[in-house]
Structure 1
Amino acid sequence: MENFWELLDKKKINYYFENNKIIINSNLNLKKKIKVLPDNLFINGDLNLSETKIQKIPENLVVTGSLNLSFSDIQVLPDNFLIGGDLDLAGSKIKILPKNLSVKGNLNLTGTLINELPENLYVGGDLSLTSAYYIQTLPKDLSINGNLDLAYSAVKVLPDNFSVGNNLDLTYSELEVLPDNLSVGGDLNLANTKINTLPRNLLIGGNLNLINSEINKLSENLSIGGDLDLSNSDIQALPENLSIGGDLDLRYTNIRELPKKICINGSLNLRGTDIRSLPDNLSIGKNLSLAKTQIQLLPENLFVGKYLNIESTQVTLLPQNLSVGSGIYLDIDKIQNIVYRENSKDNSKIIFACWVNRMFSIQTVGFFGSLESFEKMVDEKYSDEIAVIYKKLAKECVDELAKKLN
């Protein structure tokens, strides 16, 4: 191990003395290279002591940035220790955290021997307890502004009314019950957990991951700001007033109906489900896939922000008040209230007219909109000869459909 002063000189680190302090206005990387630090050291930056033989923090150490003690021999930190950035203790030999520890950035306790978190612990960023096998409970007043990673941890209970500012990862954790009024600002990952019930009034700002979990029922008034993937799950029913800010994937589930007041701002995928009807006034912010379902009728006032997929369904009619933003995937010979034409020079180019968005709409590869917009598009995209052909086909579709609907 090299002497501290020799290391500074070797690394050409500038330092000076002021009021009995050793001040360094830069990051200092001493990985694997030091055993003892001097007292009264002030680092105006980051300090890397990973894989060193340091067992104790010197008196009056100040680090304005991050402190990395991962895989070091550190065994104790001073009381009231303040870190301006991140504190990384992963794989270190520390067993006890000091009282009133304050970390403005992230605190990494992955794989440590610590068995208890102190009261009044403050973590401004993320807290990682991944593979921290000795911590079983969290302080009652613990508040996490960033992510909380409890994957593979031994934590068995979360505090009542617990709040996590961003993501909460419980993958393969020992938790079996979630507290009521749990609030997660980001994603909640319950993959491969023993939890079988969601708590009341659960609020999730991001995505909810239930892959390979034991959850078989969703809680009432569940609100999810992101995506909910229930594909191939054992969930049998959806709660009333379910609100999904992102996508809802119900592929190949045993769910047979949707709640009347369900709200989905993203996409809804019902492919391969046993759902046979949709609630009136259903509004889907992005895509709606009904492919390979037994649905026969589309509901009144159905709104789909982007694409509607009704391929391989029993649907034969488009409702008069259907609203679709980007287009419809359908079985062209099955839908009765559309009219289509094939370009004799390009049989793959099918043009069809339908009554959607309260007007005659034209759809073909790469286009969905009004007849006027279609004519403008082909004039700009194709030669005069081809444009005339496409406009003629589209006009024929609209005229024939108008007669059919009247």
Structure 2
Amino acid sequence: MKKFIEILNQKNIKYTVENDIIRVLDNLCFYQNPLKSLPDNLIIKGNLDISETKIRNLPDNLIVYGDLNLSGTEISILPDNLVVHGQLNASYTKIITLPEKLIIGGGLDLSFSYIQSLPDNLMIDGNLYLQNTYIVKLPENLTVAGDLDVSSTRITRLPERFSIKGSLNLGSCAINTLPANLHITGDLNVNSTHITKLPENLRVDGSLNLSYLKIRKLPKDIQVKDNLKLWYSEIKKLPNNLKVNGDLDLAKTKIKKLPKNLKVKGCLILKSTKINKLLKNFKGTCSSLDLSNNKIKKIPENLKIKSNLYLNNCEIKKLPDNMRINGNLSLSEATIKKLPENLRVGGQLSVDYTLIKKLPKSLSVRGELDVWGTKIKKIPNHFNVVNGLNLTRTKVKKLPENFTQIKNLFMNVTKISHLPDTLYVQDCLELSYSRIKKLPKNLQVGKKLLLNDTKIKKLPENLKLEEGIDLRKTQIRYLPESLELKWLSLDLKKIKNIAYRKNCTSKRKTIFAAYLNGEYKIFQNKSLIGNLKEYERFVNQRFLDPQAGKLKQAARDCVEELQKKIRIN
């Protein structure tokens, strides 16, 4: 108990001790900690995380009001009087059985553990994860308030009486039959099982995954309220009047004809199928259509697409004149050489690695334009690409005139050497391996700025990023004091106004300090933690002495060294 109290004091964690009962009033995290045991009569008012520690046994009378995480420990037995009001994560443990009187208020994760059996009448008020375990049978009267995952187990059947409020994942388990009148309120996944026939009156309120099954026919009365995935199944025929509220995935199937009155509210996926025969005289409806990896050479005139059209790696050479796509149009690696003059795309247009050399003057794209790896040399001046432009590995040498604002701009490995003076990139600007040598003074980037492997020498003042900057292999030697970010990737030896320590403690942490916005900021590896006080608080919460002391001292040394550098300069 004494050593445990010392740890609580070091971490500045509030606790009380009364009648040999220790009450911890906050969350307690010992993740990857050298701690080997916990004291008896321990009550945790928050969460307790002892994952990947050397603890082999839990103490008697342990009560956790939040979640208990035992993942990756050597624990093999749970105490009979264990009480967890939240979730219990015992994945990757050596636990074989559960106590009969185990009390869990939330979900239970036993995935990749040694568990072999579960107690009868087990009730889980959350998700139950049993994937990749030695379970061969589920108990009768099993009640799960959330999802049940028994994938990659040796379970051969479901119990006669059970209740699941969420999704059921049976993927790659040994089950060979499903009970009649089965109703799943979430998703049902039976891919790669031994099931050869679906029960009558099967109802799935979510998605149904039948991929890699030897089923050849769907029940006429099947009801699926979301996606239906038949990928690589042996189904050869679909029932007439089939209605799918989500996506219908028929990729790599042997279906030769689409049923009458087929209605797909999501995407009809026909990858690697005999597409020409499938679409002939097709009078059904679908919101989006995926024809990727097919030998289709022409889009059928009768085809109406409400949202997205995917023609990746197709032999299509021409699109219909005046074609209009409300969503995304993807032609990646297709053999098409020319786009129609009046093409309208409401979402993203991807023509990466196609043979297209020129964009039509009247082309309209409301989403991102991706021309990665094409021979396109020019983006038309009138072209509106507010939502994004990917010019990676193209021969484009110049950005359009009046180009000032865009959501994402990718210019890595391009010949462009100049950026507009007042460029604003909302999310990400990537210039890696580009010919850009100078950044505009008024450059604004919302999230990420990737400058690695360029000859850029200086960052502009007042850069404020929600995420960070990559400065590796640049000629930048100083960080501006006005810089605001959450992470910073750099060459430690090249930046002159930082101080760093490498290989701190056995965890090999890299610590460096930078003077930003009037404070000495501490970074661990590349993540900004905060000022010195904030960093010490961060360390106290996650590490124990002697590691904690070494990390804090390394940070102090960095600040002291940087102070001297700043005074000298």
Per the normalisation by structure 1, the TM-score is: 0.66
For residues 114 and 294 of structure 1, the distance between their equivalents in structure 2, rounded to whole angstroms, comes to: 54
Q: Residues 35-92 of structure 1: CA distance to partner in whole angstroms, max 9, x if unpaired?
A: 24222x2211111233344434412x2211111223233413325x442222122233
User: In the aligned structure 2, how far is the partner of 1:348 from the partner of 1:325?
Assistant: 13
The code of the aligned residue for 1:268 comes to L
Matching residue of 2:125? 124
TM-aligned CA deviation for residue 33 of structure 1: 0.9
Q: Which amino acid in 1 is paired with 2:70?
A: L
Shift of the 158–94 alpha-carbon distance from structure 1 to 2, 3 Å rule, reads same
- Report how many residues are paired: 332
- Does residue 142 of structure 2 align to residue 142 of structure 1? yes
Contact 2:149 2:168 in 1 (8 A): yes
Q: Which amino acid aligns with 1:64?
A: Y
Q: What SS does the aligned partner of 2:144 have? A: coil
| Map 1:3-402 → 2, pairs under 5 A | 3-17=3-17, 21-30=21-30, 31-39=33-41, 41-50=42-51, 51-59=53-61, 61-70=62-71, 71-78=73-80, 81-133=82-134, 135-160=135-160, 163-270=163-270, 272-273=274-275, 274-275=277-278, 277-278=280-281, 280=283, 282-287=284-289, 304-306=305-307, 326=326, 349-351=340-342, 365-366=363-364
2 and 226 in structure 1: CA distance in 2 versus 1, 3 angstrom threshold: farther
SS where residue 151 of structure 1 aligns? Answer: coil
Q: Deviations over 1:271-330 (max 9, x none)?
A: 5243365565x332334769867999877xx864236799999xxx9xxxxxx973999x
- Structure 2 Cα separation of the partners of residues 241 and 205 of structure 1: 18
Gaps of 5+ in 2: 330-337, 344-361, 367-381, 385-569
Change (3 A) 1:349 1:115: closer
Q: Structure 2 counterpart of 1:131, which letter? A: N
Q: Which consecutive residues of structure 1, in runs of 5 or more, have no partner in the other structure?
A: 318-323, 330-346, 353-363, 369-379, 383-406
Deviations 1:172-224 (A, max 9, x none): 21222222333334433333322222232333344333333333322332233
SS of the equivalent of 2:22 reads strand
**Mapped contact 1:94–1:114 kept (Cα < 8 A):** yes
Matched residue of 1:4: which SS? Answer: helix
Letter in 1 for 2:45: N
| Residues 277 and 295, structure 1, Cα contact 8 Å, conserved in 2 | no
Do 1:76 and 1:95's aligned partners in 2 also have CA atoms closer than 8 Å? no
Cα distance in 2, alignment partners of residues 287 and 159 from structure 1? 39
- String of CA shifts for 1:228-286, please: whole Å, max 9, x gaps: 33344321111344331212133453323333343311122445243365565x33233
Contact 2:77 / 2:95 at 8 angstroms: preserved in 1?
yes
Structural RMSD (CA): 4.2
User: In the TM superposition, what whole-angstrom CA distance separates every residue of 1:133-169 from its partner, at most 9, and x where no partner exists?
Assistant: 1x21112322333332222212222124755444433
Counterpart in the other structure of 2:565: none
Task: For CA contacts below 8 A with separation 6 or more, give which structure has more relative contact order.
Answer: 1
SS of equivalent residue, structure 1 residue 42: strand
**In 2, Cα distance between the equivalents of 1:327 and 1:114?**
47
Q: Is the 8 A contact 1:230 1:249 kept in 2?
A: yes
Q: Which residue of 2 aligns with 1:344?
A: none
The alignment's TM-score, normalised by the length of structure 2, stands at 0.49
In 1, Cα distance between the equivalents of 2:269 and 2:195? 25
Name whichever of 121-130 and 256-265 sits farther off. 256-265
Q: Distance in 2 between matches of 1:58 and 1:46?
A: 17
Q: 1:294 to 1:225 in 2, by over 3 A?
A: farther
Contact 1:191 1:211 in 2 (8 A): yes
| Bigger mean CA offset, 171-180 vs 251-260 | 251-260
Using the alignment, how far apart are the partners of 2:111 and 2:327 within structure 1? 49
- In structure 2, distance between residues paired with 1:98 and 1:83: 13
Which AA in structure 2 matches 1:12?
A: N
CA shift in 2, pair 1:184/1:142, >3 Å = same
Alpha-carbon shift at residue 226 of structure 1 (Å): 3.0
Tell me which amino acid in the other structure corresponds to 2:84. I
State the AA in 1 paired with 2:278.
I
Query: Judging changes above 3 Å, is the alpha-carbon distance between structure 1 residues 3 and 113 closer, same or farther for their aligned structure 2 residues?
Result: same
Preserved contact between residue 121 and residue 141 of structure 2 (Cα < 8 Å): yes
Letter in 1 for 2:120: E
* Structure-2 change in CA distance of 1:266 and 1:13 (3 Å): same
> Which secondary structure state, in structure 1, belongs to the residue aligned with residue 9 of structure 2?
helix
- 2: CA distance, partners of 1:110 / 1:367: 46
What amino acid maps onto 2:69 in structure 1?
Answer: N
**Quick one: distance in 2 between partners of 1:197 and 1:203?**
14
